[in-house]
Structure 1
Amino acid sequence: CPTTESFWIKTCGEVASTGRKFHFEYFSEAHDKHFEAKAYSPFPGQFAAIFSDLTSWLQVERELSDSEERFKALSNASFDGVIIHDQGLILECNQELTNITGFSYSEHIGMNGLELIAPESLETVLANIKGGYDRGYEVVGLRKEGSRYPLAIRGKNIQFQGREVRIIEFRDLTESKDLESQLRVSEERLLSITETAHDAIVMLDNCGRVIYWNPAAEQIFGYSAADVIGENLHTLIAPERYHGEYVKAFSGFQSTGQGAAVGKTLALYARHKDGHEIPIELSMSANFVKGSWQAVGIIRDISERRRLEGKTQQMAKLASLGEMASGVAHEINNPLTGIINCAQLLNNRLAEDQWNSEVIGRIIREGDRISRIVKSLLTIAHPGTGKRELVEVGELVEIVMNLTAQKLARQGIDFQLNFDDSLPPIRVEAQQIEQVLLNLLNNACYALHEKFPVNHPNKKLELNVAKRVRDGRGWILFEIRDWGTGISKEHLKRTFEPFFTTKPAGVGTGLGLGLCHSIVKRHSGRIEIESEFGQYTLVRFDLPIEP
């Protein structure tokens, strides 16, 4: 008997005397089991009982309950929504799903899960369910209030409550998509800045290899991004004299992110693809990315700045020399005039003495030469106080051509004039501009005759006169080009210095180009020289057109 004798005597008596059925469950400590008992009276005054062992069934029920509680605990702890459905009908879901969709838990249970998918994504979802696809994919979800949102889902078949069902993971991508969009906008903005920057922007990995090279870097150094990505930057653009110092410095940078150039702006030289050197400014910073140091360099080509600095220094030097020349010229001019006058008087008295006459004549000629030099010095210092008048450009050119035509023909120079008759007049001191043109043409003739003492097909000289726009206003541009001896790079820097000349002693004074520079500058114009030694020389100067 699974229980005490007194309990059963009482129970059996009640059932037999009343005929009432009696049903209960109890635990037998003696047998360590759970039982179900059903007692009834088959006939008046009789008693019958049926006992069933519930131990195994209760154990299964308890385990199932524990399993369901664990599932709920795990799924509710998930940051993603979870659904268990059978043939589309939702059997179970977690709390996060209700947060995502806006439906309550009770509304979800029994709902067709496809109601949570936007119509445009239904075909994709149905195909994946049918095919048992268990990898993640993106669709458009549908919330309770009808709004759409980006949704990632992943499903697989599992056993649940004794049958095969499908579990689906819902991940709301709204926040991640917003972050992706913000990141994309940020990247596009950064790319726009780097791609349109006038300075070169270069990124190097921890081994010194190029991983980014913007269009300005292509423009400055001549290498395309395809040429340099993956290559060692310093091998490409650093002059050899920097290589040893670089190897030592970059070794320290690789491990510490520190170096002489980090956080500073340095003035250096870099090498262009064609081999010539470029003055640059380098600003470098260090970034720690994925466990290693990377370098970001911003490089500015300062060639134009250096050119302007050199020009400013040259102008200051010219101004200083001009002031000195003015003082010297005034001091020389008076005694020189006396020497020439005295020599002229002696020449008049000794005209019949041939030897004395020749010596005195030489004194007069050399005195006149000194006088011309003094005059040039004064012109450089104070190039004229004459009145400026509107002058037709054609008249200026015609006067100069009349003065040089005979020389050009005598030396066998092929001269070409390119001139626009419709050019407007310019307000200048005509004689000074004529002097500039004469000096430049004479220099060109000399260079051509030095290179080609006799006639030659390349013994050519061009004078081009045209209108151009610079700095928002009109200018008359004069260009004198010859294919003569040219000027070396080291001499080209000094061409406008007073007394600098490449001609033999006694042939040139070195004042011609300095005088040209001074005259053009005082007319608010600009003069520049382009030349390649042994090949050609091109001199350009412009003069402003009145508004």
Structure 2
Amino acid sequence: MTTTDEQSAPIIVPDRAGQSDARSAVTARFLGRIIQSIAAPLYVIDRSHAILFWNSALAQLTGKSSFQMTGTKLHWSVFHTRQKQLLADLIIDGACPASDRAYPQVVRHADGTLQTEGWYDDVGGKRRYLLFEARPITDDGNTVVAAVETIQDITERKQAQEVMDGQRRFFQGILESIPNPVSYKDLSHAYLGCNRAFSEFFGRSEEEIIGKMISDVVAPEYAVGSTEADRRVLESGSSYKYETTLPRGDGQLRSVLVTKAPFSLLNGELGGTVGTFVDITEQRFLDEQVKEAKREWEETLDCLKDFVILTDELHRVRRCNRLLCDMTGKGFDEVLNEDWRDLLPDAGFEALSFNGVSGELVHAASKRYYGLNIYSMTETENERVTGYVISLNDMTELRAMNEELKRTAQELNEAQRAVYQQEKLASIGQLAAGVAHEINNPMGFISSNLTTLGKYLDKLRAFETAMIGLMERDGNSETLGELKELRRNMKIDYILGDIQGLLEESHEGAERVRRIVQDLKSFSRVDEAECKPTCINDCLTSTLNMVRNEIKYVAEVELDVAPDLPLLHCYPQQLNQVFMNLLVNAAHAITERGVIGIRTFRDGDDVVIQVRDTGKGIAPEHLTRVFEPFFTTKEVGKGTGLGLSISYDIVKKHGGRIEVESAVGVGSTFTIHLPLGYLAETV
């Protein structure tokens, strides 16, 4: 029977035996209105697969009206380009292998309901993701007489799900790229997810972790700390870092550094915690080894009787042994980052000598002498200085035992200008010593033979006297007369007297030769005298030549020396050192090209030397300190602070004085007064 609904769409309903046409029409219209009012798109087919109902929601979804579709078998055409059974068709036809192949993803329920879903390229002019659900319609005998199929457009939900799935895969990909174990939990501390590193560390699959508690993954004694950390993070809303011990999947305990933080959901609400940890077992083992090595190193250094100081490139203390703390009366934290060049003077150390890398200090209170050595630590690639090692060796006893040797060495060092002459004298002395040795040997024979001849002469005289005496007493007078005549003619008395004179002269000559040999031996020693009359102008000229390369790029030199300057009795080599310090300091003080002036003149009984520069000058508060040991206004690495201190000592030991005048931005002038009446002493 055919009737028409309120929208003039035809409705086909099965005939019912014994049912009046009027009643059937009413029933059909009522049923049609019900189906049309259902918000979900649906259609109904009969046993012949003809469409009985096609509601307005489905018409809106597909663009095909109920009028177009009712009574046809074209319900497949709105979803497929080629004819293909829909789920309702499968219910009418019953299960068969063909239907299983057509819908391999179909879900079959016990009540006969079928479900499937998927993407459809052109449904109502759009690509849609649809959820199909078909149910059988049976008569009173439970025979399938029709099938109803509902279609839900879940495109937006599917797209959102795909976006979420993509984000989830992206997030998981990030997690998997992290080499350290990472996991995240919900507010009840159950695992929501983790990366492969986390699973591999505990030797469990992802399925054995997701949805589980930490106590399901590790033993309870290891789980308590993790749960407490989760609570702390959730309550504070901030990250938390701590160290603990966790068992690996193979049972081995590992030291780990754990970091946990809260995370929020898309709606801004707190979602749970995310955590990661780093296996620091090897690092802790190495840390312990380093601590042990450090302890042994410190104990070794503390056993030394010498100072050992390690500094950075700016001479700030980084490490030291206990002796420095004891001597300064400060703790290690107090000397840390302090400049060792300030610590030593404050502790009572005074510099006796220093050449930039080594020297000698004295501790005034204890009267102990120390040898100072500075060793540079450099990078292999660029030889940049990264720090220094400073050692102070107690040299008190050695210094006392070798005082004479040290004075000799100091004198030799200060007599560099005489080295060449000394070498020549040494060579001549060696030659003289050899000659003296060669003369001494034959002179020994000569002296010995002369002594023996003297003894023989005395015996001959005694014999001759005895013989004449016997002849006068017992001999023939005639023979005696002849003998006396022969003696007189041969001048025996004269000869004997002359022989004695010759022997005495020979002895005197031999003695003179002995003294000459002795003088030659004395001459073979090198003359070490250094203090001598010196022309100060010559000293300045020679020193200027030595440092000209340091000066020529920054300053012009104005030389004004008195031509009639008298000679000064001094140690020229030491004064050369003073002049060199002043000239180099003047060059360093000039930042742009300037002038260095050198002047000498006589002032009464003094010889005066002035060195001036047009450099940056010295601040007034520093003028009183420029001659202090270790004090310097130069940049780090440009000076030791000992040059002017040493110069001051040398001038003072020559009986003179050194003065300084300076103005910031104008320059400085150093003036030296040296007395002409200076008497040389050991300096």
Scaled by the length of structure 1, what TM-score is found? 0.45
* Structure with the larger RCO, 1 or 2 (CA within 8 Å, 6+ apart): 1
Structure with max Cα Rg: 2
Q: TM-score, normalised by structure 2?
A: 0.37
